[in-house]
Amino acid sequence: MQALFIGFSSVTWQDAIMYVVGLVLIWLAIKKEYEPMLLLPIGFGAILVNLPLAVAYEHEGQAGFLKILLEAGITTELFPLLIFVAIGAMCDFRPLFKMPVMIFFGAAAQFGIFATLLAAVALGFDLKTAAAIGIIGAADGPTAIYVASKFAREYLGPISVAAYSYMSLVPLIQPPVVRALTTRRERLIKMEYHEIQLPRSLMVVFPIVVTFVAGFVAPISVPLVGTLMFGNLIRECGVLERLSKAAQNELANIVTILLGITIGSTMRSRAFLQPATILIILMGLVAFVFDTAGGVLFAKFLNLFLKRKINPMIGACGISAFPMSARVIHKMAKQEDPFTVILMQAVGANVSGQVGSIIAGGMVLALVPLLVS
Amino acid sequence: MLARLLQSVQEGSEIQKALFVMVVGVLGVFGVLAFFFGLIHLLRRILKK
C-alpha cells in the first residue's frame, strides 16, 4: 500500500522549496522575459530533478535522461563549447575593427571577475570555487558554465542561474552604477564616428590568426577561443551560408534547450539549499557592479590623456552581455541628450567584451591550477 | 625570478593567491587584448594593399 503513495511520502520540504524556485524561474522567463531561453529550461529542470525519487535523474542505479545529458554535455564541457560555435557565428566584429581602441574596454570591464574572486576568498571559499563564482562577472553564460564545470561542479546550478539572471538584469544594474560614477557633463560628451571600409579578407583572417595566437600563448584557452573563432569563420568566409545559419539557429536552439534543462538538473535540493547559494547569488551582483565600474573608471582614466574625450558610459559596454549593454548605454546617452549617437562605439566595446570575457576565462583556467595543489 | 615569485605565492595564504590571480589576470587580459589591438591595426594595413 505504501508503494502506491511513495510519490507523496518521499517528498521533503526542501524539495517543495525547489519547486517554488523552479516555478519562480519559469515565471521570470514567461512574465518578465528575463533570459527566457535559459531560465525556463533551468526552472523546469530544477522541478524535474526534485520530483519524488528523481527518476528523471537516476533510478535504481540506472541513469535517467538528465544524468545522461549531464555526463555527456556538461562533464565533457561539450554543451558550452557548442554554444560558443553558435555565438561565434552570431558575432560581427566589424564595429570593433572600425574602432579598435574599444577593445580595451573589453579588458577593463572584466575587473569584476577578479575583484569578486578576491572577495569570495575573503568570505571563506577556496580558490577554485572563488574563481568559479568570480567568473559570473564574465557576463557570459557559456564561459561561466565552462569554468564552473571545471572548478566547482557542485555550484554549477547557482552560478549558472546567477550568470543568466544578472545578464537579463543589465538594464537595472548598469544605469545606477554609471550615474554614480560619472558627472552629467561627462555623460554629455559627444563622440565622432567615421565610417570606413574594411577589407573582407580581414574578417576571414582575424579568427584564424586569433586561434593560432591563443594556441601558442595560452593553450588552455583553445577550446573557448577556438570554438568561438570557428563559428565566426563559418559566418565570415562567405561560402558557408547554410552552416552559418544552422549554427546561429538550429545548433544554438537545440544546445540551449539541452544546456538549460541539464543545468536545472544540478539544482537538487540538498546541494542547492545552502547558505553558500545565497552568497553566490549576491556575489554575482557584486561582480556585475565591479565590471561596470571597471569599464567606466578606465574610460575616465583614458580621458585624462586624450584630446578627443571618450564618453565614459561607453566603458560599461565592455561586459559580454551583447547587445543588451550597448542598447542600455545608448538609451542612457539619448536620455541625457537626444542628439547624441554613441551606438556604434557602444557596440564596438560590447563585442570586445565578448572576446575579453573568454580571455579572462582562459586566464582563470590557466592561473588557478598553478596555485592549487 | 618569476619561478621564485610563483613558489612564494604557492606557499602563501589563499588571499595572497587570490591577489596574485587578480593582478596577473587583469594584466593578462589587458596584455592579450592590447596584442589583438595591434593585430587588428596590422591586418587592416596589410590587407588594405
The domain locations on chain B are: 2-48
- Chain B: residue nearest A354 by CA? B33
For the cut 70, the answer to whether the pLDDT of residue A203 exceeds it is yes
Residue owning grid cell 618569476: B2
Asked if A355's CB is within 8 angstroms of B36's CB, the reply is: yes
Residues of chain B contacting A205 with CB distance shorter than 8 Å: 43, 47
Torsion of CA A154, A155, A156, A160, to 10 degrees: 170
Check the CA dihedral A178-A180-A184-A185 and report its sign: negative
- Chain A: residue nearest B31 by CA? A107
For the cut 70, the answer to whether the pLDDT of residue B48 exceeds it is yes
Q: Is A198 on the interface with B (CB under 8 A)?
A: yes
Chosen for mutation from B27, B36, B41, B44 (greatest number of chain A CBs closer than 10 Å) is B36
Average pLDDT of chain A to the nearest whole number? 91
Q: Is B5 on the interface with A (CB under 8 A)?
A: no
A72 occurs within a structural domain: no
Asked if A97's CB is within 8 angstroms of B44's CB, the reply is: yes
For the cut 80, the answer to whether the pLDDT of residue A22 exceeds it is yes
Residues of the domain holding A214: 2-56+98-183+197-371
Q: What is the percentage of chain A residues whose pLDDT exceeds 70?
A: 99
Q: Give chain A's domain count.
A: 1
Q: Is B16 on the interface with A (CB under 8 A)?
A: no
Residues of chain B contacting A359 with CB distance shorter than 8 Å: 28-29, 32-33
Nearest to A106 among B19, B26, B33 (CB): B33
Q: Categorize the per-residue pLDDT at A1 as very low, low, confident or very high, splitting at 50, 70 and 90.
A: low
Burial A336-353 (b: 16+ CB within 10 A, else e): beeebebbbbbbbbbbbb
DSSP bridge partners of A62: A59
Q: Categorize the per-residue pLDDT at A173 as very low, low, confident or very high, splitting at 50, 70 and 90.
A: very high
Q: Is A208 on the interface with B (CB under 8 A)?
A: no
Q: CA A256, CA A231: separation in Å to the nearest integer?
A: 16
Q: CA A41, CA A79: separation in Å to the nearest integer?
A: 14
